[in-house]
Amino acid sequence: MRQTAALAIGLSFALAQQAAAQAPQPQAPTTVQLPTFRSFTINTSVSVPDRGAAYLGGVSRGGDSSTSRGLGPLRSRATSSGRSTSSVSVHATIIDHAEIDRALLAEAAAKRRATAPDRATTEADWLTAHVRRESERDARATAARRK
């Protein structure tokens, strides 16, 4: 019986040591500072030229605080302050896709003219011009017959 009791005490002591070794160790305190968000709105209309900018306005916030505790030489004082600013501006860039297309097509046409036109290009240009005229003429004739 004595051996059984001693064995049981030895097992429980070993299990307690093992549990203590596996238990997470206390960690140093950690400070987590979460961001704060504030918003404001502005409703207005402005005229801004192409590639221009306009400053619409802003908000500045500030605060100070001071705390004193105790009297005389045992007095302690704590102060804190906070500042924040927000602003709104607009930047405008006008993108005219039609103008970009015209510029690119004019550049491509200038490059084509710079190279000597081959026979196929000349024939294609002639066919394009004449087929368009004939299709317009046929459309007018069909419209006239319907009247």
The model's pLDDT over 46-65, given as tens digits with 9 standing for 90+, comes to: 999 999 999 988 888 888 88
Residue 4 is assigned to a structural domain of this protein: no
Residue 126 is assigned to a structural domain of this protein: no
Instruction: Give percent of the chain above pLDDT 90.
Output: 17
Residue 64 is assigned to a structural domain of this protein: yes
Cα(8)–Cα(16) distance, rounded to whole angstroms? 12
Work out the angle at residue 15's Cα, subtended by the Cα atoms of residues 9 and 17, and round it to the nearest 5 degrees: 105
What is the domain extent for residue 105? 50-120
pLDDT(115) > 60: yes
Contact 90, 53 (CB under 8 A): yes
Q: What pTM did the predictor assign?
A: 0.35
Residue 29 is assigned to a structural domain of this protein: no
Number of compact structural domains in the chain: 1
Tokens representing 97 are 């896709």
Tokens representing 119 are 């026979």
Residue 39 is assigned to a structural domain of this protein: no
Phi, psi of 107 (to 5 degrees): -65, -40
Alpha-carbon torsion (40, 45, 46, 52), positive or negative: positive
Confidence category of residue 91, pLDDT binned at 50, 70, 90: very high
Residue 95 is assigned to a structural domain of this protein: yes
Selected residue with higher pLDDT from 23 and 38: 38
